[in-house]
Structure 1
Amino acid sequence: MAEFNKLAQAFEYYFQCAPDVMTRAPGRVNLIGEHTDYNQGFVFPAAINFGTDVAVGRRDDRIISAVAMDYSGATSYFSMDDIRFDQAQPWSNYVRGVLKVLSETYDFNGVNMIITGNVPQGAGLSSSASLEIAVLKAVASLYKLPLSGVEAALIGQRAENEFVGCSCGIMDQLISALGKAGNALLLDCQSLAYEYHPINPDYQVVIVNSNVKRGLVDSEYNLRREQCEEAASLLGVESLRAATMDQLYAGRERMSDPVFRRARHVISENDRTLAMGRALEESDYRIVSQLMAESHRSMREDFEITIEPVDTLVAIIDEVIGTQGGVRMTGGGFGGCVVALVPKELVPSVENAVSVEYHARTGIRESLYICTAEQGAFSETSLDENC
């Protein structure tokens, strides 16, 4: 692929030899299943055609030399025997974290590494998980480590939780590792069982960033999580995954109204996510439209995580596609992106409507990405003479 040719040239520029392995890992978008992951529920992401590329070469010592092309060639240089958090270069902590966790299970030597990517930063498309999985895939391929996709995802999640300090779920890393071209992945966050469901090739995934910075997401995310845990406790279940709507309504009097509505979102969202799998299998986009609309309404009214510009984007796109496709907010909320499944012939109309109407109604300029569902992380061995 052309990106790998440029990556190999950059590696040779920095390290004066050809790379041994080049790897790509995609970002992702979640089609449905929001705030269900930490409730042990179901999510439905797809890997997208934006990702992180990593080229690596062997070293004879224990040193990691990592170059970030997208940060003006900034280099992080550290020993595998002394991996510490780097305040000065935050990007390097994703590299440091996954290698630290990987080294607890596998033995490998030092690595020369160059990194670049095109996952839009701050758009909620999981650039961090893409980086983590790309690094893990590259090093595992380089040293022939028997690392499975699920194991890589768990290592990436642990590195982000414990080393970087972000309490993410498993979805982002798993879809980056295990995505399948033309498909979305229905993931059970409790068992890590997963199955693929096809996206009709006559449809495209359209992602629109509202460009509203998600300023409240940390505190509000933690509050929503606490409210879900409170609801589960009051219902006598380990997590809301185990609760039914009948149980919820039977226990309503024991809950505050916000806690009840948070739980109602999670329980109903799990049902919608499972129904989405059936709808995609049958290519029934009228049902897809209904499920995504109900998901957005639930996030707006029960989970209370949408904001007016995001609701406006959903309304603009819905006016164009109607029941021929689906649209909803995606991600943590309080800003960020909407995702739409759009018939290819309507994509130009969606682009035009969003370009004209969104700024007119909100005064904000959006960023729009036309995406396809792509395969997960893969690597390519260099045929050139290496170091």
Structure 2
Amino acid sequence: MKTIIQDVAALFETHFNALHEVLFHAPGRVNLIGEHTDYNNGFVLPCAIDRGTYLAIKTREDNLIRVVAGNLSNAASEWPASLPVEHDKNNAWADYIRGVTEQLLKQGHTLKGMDIAVLGNVPQGAGLSSSASFSVGFATACNAINTLGLSPTEVALCCQAAENEFAGCNCGIMDQLISAAGEAGHALLINCGDYSYEPYAIPEDLAIMIIDSKVKRGLVDSEYNTRRKQCEEAALIMGVSSLRDATLSLLAESKNKMTDEVFRRAKHVITENQRTIDAAEALANKNYTLLNKLMAESHISMRDDFEVTTSQIDLLVDLVGEHLDNDGGVRMTGGGFGGCVVALVPKVKAEAISNAILKPYKEATNLDAETHICLASAGAASLNT
């Protein structure tokens, strides 16, 4: 069976009538707990997964960047690596890497031209960060090919700025940082206030199960930016720089100064930060009963206080929960409004749980959910030995 590396190499050869020189890869991610806390300078606990974006690249003599996207019917976009960087009105996907080009040029870097073929196996629109994987893979390639000397954190910050300022989504740092800095076999407890992170091993007896609800979502066109504004409003009312610095007692004191909706948004973030720290310790101690409780509370908070789940997502969480005996956890993952559920389940139960949930979910929703058993993987890197 052909591999995705062989496929992206063949795509390059077919489209550019040449052989590629180098290969790069950047993973997608799943967030185990800590949702909508990243842009509030809080804590998140994601891991990179063994699904990602692959780039076959050949440098050019000029400064033209040409990209063909295999997952989008071989749509192509090209632009010069010089300021100002323009939007491609016909290919919105290219904004994620055109924006990276702009950020690197603004930092004073000079970039070589490149021909690039891109192919990914992160389900698009599922909330597993296909867009961050794409931009981090491109930025990692630019960093290596042009010997820019950027750290994984600096690569992530560049990609975040590109998504915020060029692609138009006010995302936090989590997706880009875990894609750039992930560690095999580990989740990273990331402090989004100072970008520091600490690895926590995923216990060997647990499987990372990701269940794609097939309810498509898109951050730029969703209510993501609205939630961010509500969080900023709550922080302003409480007189703190971000919800990271808020407490439940301070929130209670300020309740009569904000709408019920804004109050509940803040309550989610404040409680989710503590749950995330506690979940990292639960993993370290293999305290699965506590992990189960924390992930359940996280989902309820996202459903009732942050209001980003859907009926289909809630159903999947309930179906998985029926088969867990406090020996794992399950919750919605990602920005919300569709996408995926993440479950940490005993490896010995993984296949049975997957088989048990798909039929009742189909009967209730007429959607064919898809399960993925993923490994916690390393961050973006060259694939050339």
User: What TM-score do the two structures reach when normalised by structure 1?
Assistant: 0.93
SS in 1 for 2:57: strand
Q: Secondary structure at the match of 2:62?
A: coil
Maintained 8 Å contact 1:56/1:139: no
Moved more, 225-234 or 266-275: 225-234
Cα distance, 1:67–1:243 mapped onto 2, change above 3 Å: same
Gaps of 5+ in 1: 383-387
Q: Which residue of 2 aligns with 1:174?
A: 177
1:297 counterpart = 2:266: no
Counterpart contact for 2:222–2:337, Cα < 8 Å:
no
Alignment partners' CA distance in 1, 2:272 and 2:285? 20
CA 1:60–1:213: 2 relative to 1, 3 Å: closer
Q: What per-residue deviation string (whole Å, max 9, x for no partner) do you get for residues 112-170 of structure 1?
A: 21111111011011111101111111222222221211111111111111112222111
Identity rate, percent: 49
C-alpha change, 1:348 and 1:107, in structure 2 (3 Å) is same
Is 1:86 the equivalent of 2:101? Answer: no
1:34 aligned onto 2:35: yes
Counterpart for residue 158 of structure 1:
161
Q: 1:385: which partner in 2?
A: none
**Cα offset for 1:188?**
1.1
Report the 3-state secondary structure (helix = DSSP H, G, I; strand = E; otherwise coil) of the residue aligned with 1:322: coil
Could you say if the C-alpha distance between residues 288 and 141 of structure 1 is closer, same or farther in structure 2, counting changes exceeding 3 Å? same
1:96 aligned partner, one-letter code: R
Separation in 1, partners of 2:40, 2:93: 29
1:234 corresponds to which of 232, 237, 240: 237
Tell me the C-alpha RMSD between the 2 structures: 2.0
Which residue of the other structure, out of 133, 136, 139, is the alignment partner of 1:136? 139
**Within 5 A, what are the aligned runs for 1:222-301?**
222-301=225-304
Aligned to 1:313: 316
Q: CA deviation at 1:206?
A: 1.0
Contact 2:99–2:167 at 8 Å: present in 1 too? yes
Task: Measure the CA separation in 1 of the matches of 2:308 and 2:90.
Answer: 33
Structure 2 residue runs of 5 or longer lacking an equivalent are none
Change (3 A) 1:283 1:249: same
Map 1:178-197 onto structure 2 (within 5 A).
178-197=181-200
What does residue 323 of structure 1 align with? 326
Q: Taking structure 2 as the reference length, what is the TM-score of the superposition?
A: 0.93
Amino acid at match of 1:103: L
Which range moved further: 13-22 or 338-347?
A: 13-22
Aligned residue type for 1:320: H
Contact 1:68 1:74 in 2 (8 A): yes
Q: C-alpha displacement at 1:195, in angstroms?
A: 0.9
Deviation, structure 1 residue 366: 1.3
Q: For the residues of structure 1 that align with 2:233 and 2:117, how far apart are their CA atoms?
A: 45
Q: Does 1:123 align with 2:126?
A: yes
Would you say how many aligned residue pairs link Structure 1 and Structure 2? 382
C-alpha separation in 1, matches of 2:134 and 2:111:
19
**Structure 1 pair 208–147 and aligned structure 2 pair: CA distance change class (3 A):** same
Q: CA deviation at 1:2?
A: 4.7
Asked if residue 54 in structure 1 is aligned to residue 58 in structure 2, the reply is: no
CA deviation map 1:79-133 (0-9, x unaligned): 2236310011222222222122222331122112111111101101111110111
**Secondary structure at the residue paired with 2:118?**
strand
Kindly indicate whether the alpha-carbon contact (under 8 Å) linking 1:37 and 1:189 is maintained by their aligned counterparts in 2.
Answer: yes
